[in-house]
Amino acid sequence: GEDVEQSLFLSVREGDSSVINCTYTDSSSTYLYWYKQEPGAGLQLLTYIFSNMDMKQDQRLTVLLNKKDKHLSLRIADTQTGDSAIYFCAESRTGGYNKLIFGAGTRLAVHP
């Protein structure tokens, strides 16, 4: 995950919005993804964005991409306790057989 960086921890109050940030280094990235991992479980794909887009919205999730700054964010509206998990940002590069390069993950804690 050395080419993809995320902050390690985020704590929010239930009902507030959460914003999880990610920076990446490779300008040839084609797609960028957000995955969610709950304790002891595999990774659940939440959403992805193509590199020529700057925003994608899917229900409570909004992805923003600033390609110039190589910055990706995931906003979760009306955060619930069930959103508590580790969130991973990942990039897929041109010519790399679409293998994913992951960040170390951001642990989101939602408290009442």
Partner 1 sequence: DTGVSQDPRHKITKRGQNVTFRCDPISEHNRLYWYRQTLGQGPEFLTYFQNEAQLEKSRLLSDRFSAERPKGSFSTLEIQRTEQGDSAMYLCASSLSVASGNEQFFGPGTRLTVL
* Comparison of 1 and 15: residue with beta carbon closer to partner 1: 1
Kindly identify the residues of this chain, within the stretch 28-87, that bind partner 1 according to CB under 8 A: 31, 33, 35, 41-45, 48, 50
Rounded to a whole number of angstroms, the minimum distance from the CB of residue 25 to partner 1 is 15
Output the CA–CA distances (angstroms, integers) from residue 28 to 53, 58, 70, 85, in the order listed.
14, 25, 11, 29
CA dist., res. 15 & res. 76, Å (int): 10
- How many CA within 13 A on the CB side of residue 68? 0
Q: What is the contact surface with partner 1 in residues (CB under 8 A)? A: 1, 4, 31, 33, 35, 41-45, 48, 50, 88, 90, 92, 96-105
